[in-house]
Amino acid sequence: NAGVTQTPKFQVLKTGQSMTLQCAQDMNHEYMSWYRQDPGMGLRLIHYSVGAGITDQGEVPNGYNVSRSTTEDFPLRLLSAAPSQTSVYFCASSYSMSRGPTGSPLHFGNGTRLTVT
Partner 1 sequence: EDKVVQSPLSLVVHEGDTVTLNCSYEVTNFRSLLWYKQEKKAPTFLFMLTSSGIEKKSGRLSSILDKKELFSILNITATQTGDSAVYLCAGVAGRGAQKLVFGQGTRLTINP
- Asked whether 30 and 11 are in contact (CB, 8 A), the reply is no
Q: Which of 84, 110, 115, 117 binds partner 1 (CB under 8 A)?
A: 110
Tell me: does residue 89 bind partner 1 (CB under 8 A). no
Q: Which of 53, 97, 115, 117 binds partner 1 (CB under 8 A)?
A: 97
- Asked whether 64 and 23 are in contact (CB, 8 A), the reply is no
Look at the alpha carbons of 28, 32, 34, 39 in this order and tell me if their dihedral is positive or negative.
negative
Positions in 31-50 near partner 1 (CB under 8 A) = 31, 33, 35, 40-45, 48, 50
- Asked whether 11 and 18 are in contact (CB, 8 A), the reply is no
By residue count, the chain amounts to 117
Q: Closest distance between partner 1 and the C-beta of residue 66, in Å?
A: 14
Give the interface with partner 1 as residue ranges (CB under 8 A). Answer: 4, 31, 33, 35, 40-45, 48, 50, 56, 58-59, 90, 94, 96-97, 101-111
